Chain A
């Protein structure tokens, strides 16, 4: 892998670290499998790109993209909480609706941002080549957001959110308003994912109506890879492992696609993703079984 493609991979890995945090919040903290992210990633990109193209400053445009994503999360939460639609199904409904909404927002399937000023523009005069600037810039964003997110999960409010995911009845008995936490959690999660979308559009110079497909799998892959490699109970470490997982996932993917002897090409991406996620899910289970076996052999005096 060349330095150029490594830095590109690193940049995308860092951006998807934000997606991984969002997915961690819904899947792991709230126990609410949320597929809305496939749509809200694109929504963040579409809203930010459209506003930038129409002349709005890139920072408020990015913020607007985040808010739009958060709103999408609230819709999913509402469908689930108000009408008892199964969470997976509710999120699929929102995701499907978002596909049309994204096309409407952009007015066409693809929006180029090549010449427009982005969040990166103020830093381009610093004398750093673009291939270095982009990953550093994105890295700072991801680390700041990650630290804030980890600190949030350690507050009373964050702890209450974790209790809602872990044990609803207990949470309620301790005065925690469950529905409110789910609304806020989904808004926050999809806001993070939309932020990733908005940054992705600006660093890569386009927003596309199909760019969000598979976001959820990639986010989940990052969470699982991170958890497998760095299992920790410390909040900061968990968030850090989301980011690391995301980068490693991208690197593994890049390696698989670049290695000629494997014979993969770009259209095999989804199969490789599925295999990687599958592997990451299976390994901890196999390790557990193997350890149990070893323990049993030991207990039987080593003759088993």
Chain B
């Protein structure tokens, strides 16, 4: 479970370039709920995700995982609970290391720093099994360098890596945005499988209205660092993309034309 209480994040406080990215977010996501997060550029979606992950420190308010207050815990201290997949397919893996080495790193998440060998045949077997789920033939290329893989393949492996260790929270930051539609669909498929299989609490930031409505059971809309809309249950199932767009327009103020329809309508 994730709980945010009056969560505030301010960049460059006290300077002329001060930016209030989050202006008091109150949010409770029960264990096992899959929430999609939408909003225009600069609304604070990624900041919210990064604050939950611990990459960005909170300037005010609290973040709790279950009953545990993690507001002051750095990102590395939250990795027992939190797994993440980044938007940039290159960000989630090390290009200069092999597939198995990358997976071994993810496998060691939460139990770090031992002087035992990072790889052995037992682990390789686990990795091979996991990779075969992707149907990309990667299970036979364990010792291939990550940098040789395509963006889609790398993102697929990142996704598998996020699920190698038991965690309760999965943060997806537009993790299909940089991929072609076919690969994006494959990645979403695997994501859904992993999430359902592990009963994860998920926050997925997306620019795609379609994804935001098709996946998960609840949709949040952020605008200027605040939650302006929280859709769930019956209401949500009746919503269409056009309704969401209307909400967007309303949030931005009626005089501001929606100039990036294409972006918002994207599959």
Contacts and interface: CB of A to CB of B under 8 A. Distances in A.
Given A159-B101, A166-B97, A167-B95, A174 B118 contact: no
A300 interface: no
Interface in A120-178: 152, 154-160, 162-163, 166-167, 169-178
Contact of A233 (B94, B104, B106, B145): B145
Contact of A169 (B86, B95, B116, B143): B86
The secondary structure that dominates the B interface is loop
Contacts of B117: 154-156
Chain A contact patch, size range: 20 to 34
Interface in B95-118: 95-98, 101, 104-106, 108-110, 112-118
A162 B105 CA distance: 10
A233 B145 CA distance: 9
Interface in A213-255: 233
The secondary structure that dominates the A interface is helix
B114 to A, nearest CB: 5
Interface residues of B, number: 34
Nearest to A154: B117
B47 to A, nearest CB: 16
B112 A176 contact: yes
A299 to B, nearest CB: 20
Contact of A160 (B95, B98, B108, B161): B108
Nearest to B79: A175
- By CB atoms of chain B within 10 A, which of A152, A156, A158, A177 has the most? A156
B94 A167 contact: yes
B105 A159 contact: yes
B86 A174 contact: no
Given A163-B97, A169-B86, A170-B91, A156 B116 contact: yes
Contacts of B76: 172, 175-178
B115 A157 contact: yes
A182 to B, nearest CB: 13
B88 to A, nearest CB: 9
Contacts of A156: 104, 108, 112-118
B82 to A, nearest CB: 8
A24 to B, nearest CB: 13
26 contacts: A155-B115, A155-B116, A156-B108, A156-B112, A156-B115, A156-B116, A156-B117, A159-B101, A160-B105, A162-B101, A163-B105, A166-B94, A166-B95, A167-B93, A170-B92, A170-B93, A173-B79, A173-B86, A173-B92, A174-B105, A175-B76, A175-B79, A175-B112, A177-B112, A233-B98, A233-B145
Per CB-CB distance, the 4 closest pairs between chain A and chain B, nearest first, are: A175-B79, A166-B94, A159-B118, A174-B109
